[in-house]
Structure 1
Amino acid sequence: MSTRFLHHFFEPRTLAVFGASEKPASLGGLVLRNIQEGGFKGPLWAVNLKGYSQVFGVPCFSRVSDLPEVPDLAVVCSPIEGVPSLIKKLGQYGVKAALVLSGGAYLDRDKGNKGSIRERMLSAARISGIRVLGPECMGLIVPGKKLNASYASQPVKAGRVAYLGQSGMLANAMIDWAAGRDVGFSHLITVGDSVDVLLPDLIDYVNQFSPAQAIMLHLERISDAQHFMTAVRDASRNRLVLAIKSGRTPESDISGMAPTPGIANRDVVFDAAFARAGVVRVDDSDELLDALETLSRMKPLKGDRLAIVSNGLGPAMLAIDKLISAGGKLAEFSAETQAALHRSEVDMSKPGENPVDVGGNASPERFVQALEIVAADANVDAVLVVHAPTRMAPSLVTAQALIDNRKKFRRNLLTSWMGLKEALNARHICNLAGIPTYISPEKAVKAFMHMVIYQRVQALLQEIPPSLPFSTSPEIRAQCRTLIKQAKEQGRQTLTHSETAQVLEAYGIPTAPSVYLANADEALARAAEIPGTKALKVVHEGNCRPYRYRKHPHKISAGLLQDLDTPEQVAEGVRQLGEKVAEKFPEYAIREYCLQPMQRGKHSMQICAGITRDPVFGPLIVFGIGGYKVNVLADRQVALPPLNMSLAADVVGRTHAASLIREHSADPERDIQHLCQMLVKLSQMASDLSDLRGLEVNPLLLNRDGMVAVDFALDLGSPSRFAIMPYPEELREWVTLKNGWQVEVRPIRAEDAHLITTFHRQLSEESIRFRYFHNKSNLTQRDLSILSHINYDRQMAFIAEYLGDDGSKEMLGVVRVWNDPDNIRTEFSVIIRDDLQGLGIGSLLMKKMIDYCTNIGTLEMIGKIMVDNHPMRALMKHLGFKCRYNMEEQVIDAVLRLNEPESEWQRHRLESMPD
């Protein structure tokens, strides 16, 4: 994961095209002409072994070593067989970036045990240090830099949207569509089958250095989920990110990944990942193009309330149906707007209500008048104009009237000019005027909802969650890890039913009272330990694994006998189940028999929840309807851990199970709260127990008495990387301050927002000014979100927390760092409560952070200090920072070298990065 040398791709001073000729079918010749016609200002050369003196007027050389100077970017269009050796030569010559458009059908074929072309390209790139984008990419286009190093069929206009994709052909279609709509791009890049520079690298680069207001992604596969999630989560905090993912069905999935246990279709995992990253997903190419229209022309929305102005109720009702079904809101007009609509008599149907029907005979002037009234309403966030052509108001004339008066409309405006022949020109002039326009009302509403969904997703991710319902401990982790270790030492890949019950109980998930039996004699002796009517289950090697029902999720064989009353019946049941297993599954050894009180589901909801593992995204939390005789996959939702209570509530709320609870529970809020707490506990379990591969609790009974896990299974595997780095429990420690207080120093978490708020209120104006460089008396919701919701891959914040005798918690100080994507440099800030300064808290926190950053390989730590912040300057000197006055910013720059660069590029990057 690195943006190393990526600026050579997007801001090259010099360019060389390899494999260019003037032959009609020459890919290199086509790319060379595009570079010329794009207006590239720097030196441009062609390289071809044929010994041409020039290609299309561009000087041509036979070898890279013959070039007048080392090019910043090499564009490779030569035959693919020779590309690995060419990349090695380019790197040795000092070229930093190679864009490989060449491709072929044999990229993965290994000839002569030398490795495939793809493998040899990657090896050459790593050995020589060059960055490689490709092979089989369309190229890249940066209109603002007059760079078109691609085989695109036509030029691209500069715009506000960055398009990053994995398909060159889809990108070509986007270019043609955008040209027809007069829409532009800030960047247009395809990675093809890139061996080195990957999509997350490009997302990081665009997020840091591009003026784009939105990013559009086309994905076919994701190879490194953690890299992808880190990059896209960072990007979505600053701008709207939309994504389209092909391969949604097993038939079109080209990833070759194994199925995810307990998941019918892996596409739901991508849904969960996009939602967690703050990305808005679009379903098809039409929607993607309409989204581009919206992103290019609309201002950011302030809310989700839509008003509709139409010259007929029929089209307006189509828009309303789509809006409501998509979860949108129809704006409710203020009393002033209703009165104005009554007075003006522009509404022909129900004056004062939304939608506004201006009538089939409405003139363009009436449209404009209605729009002025509606767009002035503070309860309206956007207005959709729906127009069907009439003699009184032809599409073109009405569109022109809207364009001429657009400055009068105070809200975002969307238009739908229905029809094809007459409406075509109306859509065209709206495109030229920069007004979003769509072929149907439904498409317009869908585009509007992209912006709304983005707002809602960001609001969810910025929501301050309630306190965690459960706190893990070293003792809990040790207890469960011991069970897992013992199972592995015995050669088992699963825990027994009784061992799994111990794990669940350790994490605060109640299980049904159980007696575990080895044989009929033990059953006869111990059956009375379970009072009343009983249920008996046999646990054998074939049914002790989770998610074993992929092909028949509605036929879960439990090996179960119910309604047993006497010890004799229990003993006979043990014999019957043992004989049944021996007959049907002779290859499976019986582990144990589980005897439980009979649990009637008549007054209970049956739930299925657990942990599974995806081959790309790692551990996942699953939740939905449960039971032995239902299709548990039909209602299953998934989420990426770690979860907090807000995220857990979102998962539960998306299921049919939640709807049933709200309809039938005597206390639905309590029951949903219990389920959310359980999901957070499962999330913590997944984080703590790295060898846990899968856990299924099914059924978990939920009723007025609470919830209880009745049946469950757990299997083991090798540790798997999380897509989102979980809370780093191992970094917590207790220390003693100079005044004798015992204080915990730990990483911050989202639930600490209330501690941050209280801490901020206790700071003096001077301390706030020293930290933020301006007065900041109150923290907004967004401030709290940024300060508490951190991405542990690239950020860290340690707080010093004091636990009072009454259980109250106080935040005494905090230190933060923000790492760049290449982990070259990190910027710190530290602030201590005024009444606690002098106790060594600042030094303690800084040393903790310095150790942390040193251990993760960061090269340098920097901070900016106000000139009159003398205590901080003294602390920096004590810690070994080099301090110098920055005349431009009029601050003190404090710099501490943590690790020495391991490569020349790191050294160069460190020297060239501004402080």
Structure 2
Amino acid sequence: MDHSIDTPGTGVHPLRPLFDPKGVVIVGASPRSASVGGHLVRKLTAQFAGPVYLLNPKHRSIDGQSCFPDVASLPGPVDLAVIASPAATVPDILADCARAGICQAVVISAGFGEAGDAGRALEARVRDVARVHGIRFVGPNCVGLQRPSSGLDASFLRSMPPAGRLGLVSQSGAICSAIVDWAGPNDLGFSSIISLGNGADVGFGEAISFLAADPQTDAILLYVEGVRDARRFVSALRAATRVKPVVVLKSGRGTAAAVAATTHTGALLGSDAAFDAALERGGAVRVETFGQLFAAAEILGSGRRAQGNRLGIVTNGGGAGVLATDRAEDMGIDLPAPSADTLAALDAVLSPHWSRANPLDIIGDAMPEAFEAAIQAGLDDPAFDGLLIILIPQAITDATDVARRAVALAQARPDKPVLFCWMGQTSVTDARRVISAAGLPDFTTPERAAEAFAFLARHAHNRRLAQQTPSVRGRHDLDPDAAREIVDDALGAGRSMLSDGEAKAVLQAYGIPVGATRRAASPDAALAVATELGWPVAVKIDSPDISHKSDVGGVRLGVATPQDLHAAFAAVTDATRQARPEARIQGVTIEPMAKVRDGRELLIGVSRDPVFGPVIAFGAGGTLVEVMRDSAVALPPLNDLLAGRLIDGTRVATLLGQFRNLAPVDRAQIEDVLLRVSQMVEDLPEIVALDINPLLAGPDEVLALDARIEVARPPAGRTPGAHLAIAPSPRGTERRFRLEDGRAVTLRPLRPDDAQDNDVLLRQMLAREDRDRNLDARALTAITDLARLTQADHEADLALLARLVSRSGVRPIGLACSILDPDGQTADCAVVVDRALRGLGVGRSLLAGLIHAARRQGIVRLTSLLRSGNAPMAALLRGQGFALREAPGRQGVLLAERLV
């Protein structure tokens, strides 16, 4: 195969030969039709357009086709090996493939990680061999993969679906089999069916990345049982959902929270909550059932997209309309009233008994002409973002005629999705064939149709959110070094829980207001502290072994006199000894009772998910937090928009506004605390769990009354930010320098607020640039997409901004970005500098910043493309250590490469 198209910098996915090979070899080919090897022979030789070679040393020919003893004896070039031989032979086969130049494989063979310790050891060996030889493979223990458009059926599925625009990635072979079996009769086409199996090499991240870049794929379906590489998974989702909808079905919705959680947050969160947070951050839409996945597949397979959340329903059956309405409301779909023009148009042609509301119930005896008029009015009505047509078969209604008319109207309006629900079976069979043949979504029940529209609406909503450019507040009052010293001292003393005072000191280091806390080892010491702090006070047990003090009777509030204080001291210590006799009691802590006007009790917490790492929770606080279970979760790092969405995802959010005699809470201060906690979690990978409960929030202030922090030493050798599922902004790229004429310039990563503060200036600068300076399509396209770069996924993208500092203010003068290739090792880069300031060192500093950040990210190579005659850019690149050569297959184009 000619690999010149895979030159770094061209943006061609390195897995392209896996999915679109020019030649295939079946390792383990068999003459037995009932075997996997025999099934592969029969299907690949009959359908695949390229050469298919058979390999099995036990046979000289199979079905009249030559069979070769080993890879080295193959007579022609091969890109893909499909391996169905015994598990123990796979490592040597992969090594032989690599020596023959075959670097892509599908390992169908079973007997690996799913088969116990010996199988896991064998799987590890396969992975090591592949890594050493540079082989990428799907599997093992998978049903294979399919690319219907090319006839590539490297699977042992019973059949192959029609060619279409949907891509499916599944950890379950059974799910693949069921969808393929269902696709044909329902006229649903797929670009790819990918069974990951054990996912020892190619996982969700790589598969999603390929489908996102695949021109044959318009939408992506995922069936997930578990995620191995959280960062790559979320990164791939974020990139894919910018351009294509992604729908996810995940099994195992039960929580995995520990029974003896050390924080309230740990009791509230489980793997499913963290998974939902990851999908939300990635922009994907989740479905809950296999049936909903089919519904999503059908609506996405039609290629229609909704612009909003407003659905109009046309029906000749009131009961069916009610069913659709109920389910639509369950799914959060708006059902607006029809416009005055729609009412007038339909009053003129329909029975006077029609509903004059949404659903547009045109009465059971409606003729095809009535359906046609109602559908046309619904499509023309700007109040509706989509239309659902429900037909109940009647003796006088020609269901097939209605279908033909409805299909014609729907095809004339590709901007507005139309969903069909012809209920029943026998009398509507021909009508359904008409709808399916047109490639339009047809559902058997109103509820399933309403769910399908909800998926479109959610995709539209998530996509808009992904394009937001929220502002972010500066942080000048943080002292992470002080917080880290407290944590290190606790860990050095062999403790995993910070004391109350230490936990509050950590919060203070991050500028979070806390109530004063003093320790007292005796009643007399407690009296002295209370007198100093002022009455009334709260008395709480002081024990390193007690996380939830109220659970053991270790809290007394509103203690107002010395007599009450002595009684409270005895009460909390006696109750704790009775409930937890083994606990070490060091005395009590004394806190002044909080005085926050119109305060609401809230919770802000952090829990460590085993897959996605730190997860931030917000919700109702107080002693009944586990009972109320009102919380929403998000993955850090947060920004203003994400913090606001986190608050809005709870029921307690409605109590933050004007409520009875309570003044509205200052939400900005709550968001500020969330952002500070997010920064704390980013800076301190030692934090395993954290509770601020309650956070008392009022119209004038917020105050953290109680805090618990659990810590542990992170694994040695991890890079900064490696504990987060979403890569934070890279450190060490901020700097100040002077141009050659002495003017001051700042260099830092592009921030969310830059798209607001500098949007006009940046776009003016970019518009003045010669687009031929760089030819790297991905990097140059990204550098003009400010929404994308200011919402950058720093696992894959980096943008640096150079700003000129003068007496008149600060303005942008240069922008550089690097976009990670799917191989995870190469990044494409582009640099743009204001014409008036070229030659003064701006481009050199931007490129040096990219190189520094790439080195910290573990990127191996930076590349860029430029025209051969672009001498200034060539000089800039050479000056930063890039080697230039003619780009393969690109006349007049140079490829610049630099090892990082």
Would you say same fold, with TM above 0.5?
yes
Q: Which residue number corresponds to residue 72 of structure 1? A: 79
Q: Which residue number corresponds to residue 95 of structure 1? A: 102
Aligned length: 873
What does residue range 831-850 of structure 1 map to in structure 2 within 5 Å? Answer: 831-833=832-834, 836-837=837-838, 839-850=840-851
Instruction: Please state if 1:493 is matched with 2:496.
Output: yes
What is the alpha-carbon distance in structure 1 between the residues aligned to residue 891 and residue 137 of structure 2?
Answer: 40
The one of 24, 43, 50 equivalent to 1:42 is 50
What is the alpha-carbon distance in structure 2 between the residues aligned to residue 106 and residue 863 of structure 1?
Answer: 41
Offset, 1:851: 3.1
What is the alpha-carbon distance in structure 1 between the residues aligned to residue 318 and residue 352 of structure 2?
Answer: 11
What does residue range 224-373 of structure 1 map to in structure 2 within 5 Å? Answer: 224-249=229-254, 261-345=266-350, 348-351=353-356, 353-373=357-377
Which stretch of the first structure deviates more once superposed, 93-102 or 195-204?
Answer: 93-102
The one of 606, 611, 619 equivalent to 1:616 is 611
Q: Which residue number corresponds to residue 56 of structure 1? A: 63
Q: Which residue number corresponds to residue 261 of structure 2? A: none
What is the alpha-carbon distance in structure 1 between the residues aligned to residue 290 and residue 498 of structure 2?
Answer: 46
What CA deviation, in whole Å up to 9, does each residue of 1:829-867 have, x standing for no partner? Answer: 323345555643232222222333355454544445578
Change (3 A) 1:439 1:102: same
What is the alpha-carbon distance in structure 2 between the residues aligned to residue 539 and residue 70 of structure 1?
Answer: 73
What is the alpha-carbon distance in structure 2 between the residues aligned to residue 642 and residue 634 of structure 1?
Answer: 24
Instruction: Please state if 1:16 is matched with 2:25.
Output: yes
What is the alpha-carbon distance in structure 2 between the residues aligned to residue 108 and residue 3 of structure 1?
Answer: 36
What CA deviation, in whole Å up to 9, does each residue of 1:881-909 have, x standing for no partner? Answer: 5667989989764624234xxxxxxxxxx
Aligned residue type for 1:123? D
What is the alpha-carbon distance in structure 2 between the residues aligned to residue 408 and residue 209 of structure 1?
Answer: 28
What is the alpha-carbon distance in structure 1 between the residues aligned to residue 192 and residue 650 of structure 2?
Answer: 39
Offset, 1:177: 0.8
Change (3 A) 1:272 1:558: farther
Offset, 1:531: 1.1
What CA deviation, in whole Å up to 9, does each residue of 1:222-269 have, x standing for no partner? Answer: 01101111112111111111110011126999xxxxx99333542111
Q: Which residue number corresponds to residue 394 of structure 2? A: 390
Contact 2:83 2:109 in 1 (8 A): yes
Aligned residue type for 2:386? A
What is the alpha-carbon distance in structure 1 between the residues aligned to residue 741 and residue 26 of structure 2?
Answer: 69
Q: Which residue number corresponds to residue 7 of structure 2? A: none
Offset, 1:659: 2.1
What is the alpha-carbon distance in structure 2 between the residues aligned to residue 712 and residue 310 of structure 1?
Answer: 56
Instruction: Please state if 1:185 is matched with 2:185.
Output: no
Q: Which residue number corresponds to residue 565 of structure 1? A: 560
Instruction: Please state if 1:484 is matched with 2:467.
Output: no
What CA deviation, in whole Å up to 9, does each residue of 1:25-61 have, x standing for no partner? Answer: 3111012112123x21333232334x32322333223
Change (3 A) 1:730 1:576: farther
TM norm structure 1: 0.88
Percentage of pairs with the same residue: 31
Aligned residue type for 1:607? L
- Counterpart of 2:546 in 1: which secondary structure? coil
Contact 1:29 1:55 in 2 (8 A): no
Q: Which residue number corresponds to residue 635 of structure 2? A: 640
What is the alpha-carbon distance in structure 2 between the residues aligned to residue 685 and residue 822 of structure 1?
Answer: 32
Contact 2:246 2:284 in 1 (8 A): yes
- Counterpart of 1:329 in 2: which secondary structure? coil
What is the alpha-carbon distance in structure 2 between the residues aligned to residue 289 and residue 600 of structure 1?
Answer: 55
What is the alpha-carbon distance in structure 1 between the residues aligned to residue 849 and residue 642 of structure 2?
Answer: 30
Change (3 A) 1:508 1:303: same
Aligned residue type for 1:15? V
- Counterpart of 2:656 in 1: which secondary structure? helix
The one of 658, 661, 667 equivalent to 2:656 is 661
Q: Which residue number corresponds to residue 711 of structure 1? A: 706
- Counterpart of 1:41 in 2: which secondary structure? coil
Change (3 A) 1:725 1:7: same
What does residue range 131-170 of structure 1 map to in structure 2 within 5 Å? Answer: 131-170=136-175
Instruction: Please state if 1:754 is matched with 2:756.
Output: yes
What is the alpha-carbon distance in structure 2 between the residues aligned to residue 530 and residue 645 of structure 1?
Answer: 36
TM norm structure 2: 0.89
Aligned residue type for 2:801? I
Contact 2:257 2:267 in 1 (8 A): no
What is the alpha-carbon distance in structure 2 between the residues aligned to residue 670 and residue 501 of structure 1?
Answer: 23
What does residue range 687-698 of structure 1 map to in structure 2 within 5 Å? Answer: 687-698=682-693
Aligned residue type for 1:249? G
What is the alpha-carbon distance in structure 1 between the residues aligned to residue 707 and residue 337 of structure 2?
Answer: 50
The one of 400, 407, 411 equivalent to 1:403 is 407
Q: Which residue number corresponds to residue 786 of structure 2? A: 784
What CA deviation, in whole Å up to 9, does each residue of 1:705-764 have, x standing for no partner? Answer: 422111111111133621101122443223344455554321112222123314226538
What is the alpha-carbon distance in structure 2 between the residues aligned to residue 127 and residue 862 of structure 1?
Answer: 24
Q: Which residue number corresponds to residue 445 of structure 1? A: 450
Aligned residue type for 1:489? G
What is the alpha-carbon distance in structure 1 between the residues aligned to residue 419 and residue 48 of structure 2?
Answer: 36
Aligned residue type for 2:461? R
Q: Which residue number corresponds to residue 719 of structure 2? A: none
Aligned residue type for 1:262? A
Change (3 A) 1:700 1:758: same
Contact 2:690 2:709 in 1 (8 A): yes
Aligned residue type for 2:518? V
- Counterpart of 1:314 in 2: which secondary structure? helix
Contact 2:25 2:82 in 1 (8 A): yes
Aligned residue type for 2:23? T
Contact 2:13 2:213 in 1 (8 A): no
Aligned residue type for 2:791? H
Which stretch of the first structure deviates more once superposed, 612-621 or 850-859?
Answer: 850-859
The one of 521, 529, 533 equivalent to 1:530 is 533
Instruction: Please state if 1:732 is matched with 2:734.
Output: yes
Q: Which residue number corresponds to residue 675 of structure 2? A: 680
Contact 2:597 2:698 in 1 (8 A): no
Q: Which residue number corresponds to residue 5 of structure 2? A: none
What is the alpha-carbon distance in structure 2 between the residues aligned to residue 186 and residue 70 of structure 1?
Answer: 25
Offset, 1:787: 3.1
Instruction: Please state if 1:502 is matched with 2:505.
Output: yes
What CA deviation, in whole Å up to 9, does each residue of 1:302-344 have, x standing for no partner? Answer: 3333222111333223222322332222245444333322333
Change (3 A) 1:152 1:461: same
Offset, 1:517: 2.2
Change (3 A) 1:592 1:791: farther
Change (3 A) 1:78 1:56: same
What is the alpha-carbon distance in structure 2 between the residues aligned to residue 781 and residue 447 of structure 1?
Answer: 35
Aligned residue type for 1:645? D
Which stretch of the first structure deviates more once superposed, 392-401 or 694-703?
Answer: 392-401
Contact 2:315 2:362 in 1 (8 A): yes
Change (3 A) 1:126 1:676: same
Which structure 2 segments of 5+ residues have no match? 1-10, 259-263, 715-721
Offset, 1:175: 0.5
- Counterpart of 1:664 in 2: which secondary structure? coil
Contact 1:626 1:632 in 2 (8 A): no
Change (3 A) 1:250 1:836: closer
What CA deviation, in whole Å up to 9, does each residue of 1:197-240 have, x standing for no partner? Answer: 22211112222234200011110110110111111211111111
- Counterpart of 2:277 in 1: which secondary structure? helix
Q: Whose relative contact order is higher, 1 or 2, with alpha carbons under 8 Å and at least 6 apart?
A: 2
Aligned residue type for 1:694? A
Change (3 A) 1:632 1:682: farther
Query: RMSD of the TM alignment (CA)?
Result: 3.4
